[in-house]
Amino acid sequence: MTEHSEGMPDMGMRMSGIMTTEFVSPGHPDKVCDQIADAIVDKALSHDPKSRVAMEVTGGHYGLVVIGEITTAEQFDIAKVVKEIYKSIGHNDHDLGVFVNVVSQASDIARGVDIGGAGDQGVMTGYAVRNPEGNHMPPVYMMARALTQKMTDLRCTGTTCLRPDGKSQVVMMDGKVTHVILAAHHAADISTDDLRQLLLEQVIRQVVPATDPVMVNPVLFDQAIYLTDGISGNVVINGTGAFIQGGFNADAGTTGRKLIVDNYGPNVEIGGGCYSGKDPTKVDRSAAYFCRFVAKSIVAGGLATEALVKVGYAIGVPTPSFVTVQTPLLLEENSKLQAHILEKFDFRPAAIIERFGLQRPVGWCYRETAAAGHYTDPKFPWEKTVDI
């Protein structure tokens, strides 16, 4: 099961050696845009499950632009949705200007989607890897996400010096954390030293195992220190010092700019299309979720330690152009598994939408995927598994 045949990718290489990835908080400008775009998708589907939505959001310096297409049975106030989401994230800018330029879906696209065809061309991927936590995600990715989530949890449970913006980055060597980098948006009335001590104790020490190299002798630096020997402890918190300006007050954001964060980190290839702002007829989203579902089922079922599933579509065509399954199995075994996957799973866009109930979310919403990650949450239907 662990041998590799000539011509097949070494899936284990994706999870060995030196790896790094980042994650960003829900208040990061790019993630604010993703959440707003997906809140518009949620609103449209709540009125009309057959809604077609393709939203692009960009914002910066107290202004925000929403452009794109919506075809839905009931119109709603997009600017109102934008302001509600921005405020709910924790940003308190009351003079946020919103410009909306939205039209109906082009008829040339609609005629292909109406008969069950893909809403766009492209390639989508889904990945899973065996790990002790059982979530089948890359450990370095999960560590970076856990650090950012811990900062958000602290803020939401009363740590008033923290603000919504922020990000994390983790370096791991052979499964052990060697470097942690945090950028934490904060109030003006806390010193850099106090903030660093707070985050070291209440975030990093709560998430990173005490036995990992970075925690054996963590050192706080005033400036960012780059990886040198890969083993000495290194913690960087707000490497430039203060991070008082955050959100759109400090930086611009755009929907879909955090593609690696939305997927599996930089060690796993992705399809290239963003998820947020798109209704499920857009295969960039729905087919990527389905590929994850298939890959996770392969790994959860013990058929391989890692799996990468790829699918490609032509716009307006229901049948995929191709489906491939890559695992560490020998070539012949992998070929048999791929053939079995093609027999067992229906990759047509309409079938995916129906299987997961993507036009009528129950117990979950698309904005949640944009805020904290599209994978691992058990309430998302594509995170379940089936026997193969």
Catalytic residues: 28, 30-31, 56, 69, 167, 243, 251-252, 257-258, 278, 282, 284
Q: How many CA atoms lie within 13 A of 120 on its CB side?
A: 24
Residue count of the chain: 388
Q: At 70, which amino acid appears?
A: I
CA 46 to CA 122: how far, in whole Å? 27
Sole residue written with tokens 């229906």: 346
- Structural contact between residues 293 and 384, judged by C-beta atoms closer than 8 angstroms: yes
Helices 78-89 + 29-47 axis angle, to 10: 130
What is the phi/psi pair of residue 67, to 5°? -130, 160
CA 70 to CA 287: how far, in whole Å? 21
For 24, 31, 95, 246, 255, the CA distances from 56, given in Å and listed in that order, are 19, 12, 21, 21, 6
CA 160 to CA 156: how far, in whole Å? 8
- Structural contact between residues 155 and 190, judged by C-beta atoms closer than 8 angstroms: no
b/e code 152-188 from CB counts within 10 Å (16+ = b): bebbeeebebbbbbbbbbbbbbeebbbbbbbbbbbee
For 153, 166, 371, the CA distances from 39, given in Å and listed in that order, are 21, 21, 11
b/e code 277-289 from CB counts within 10 Å (16+ = b): bbbbbbbbbbbbb
- Structural contact between residues 120 and 315, judged by C-beta atoms closer than 8 angstroms: yes
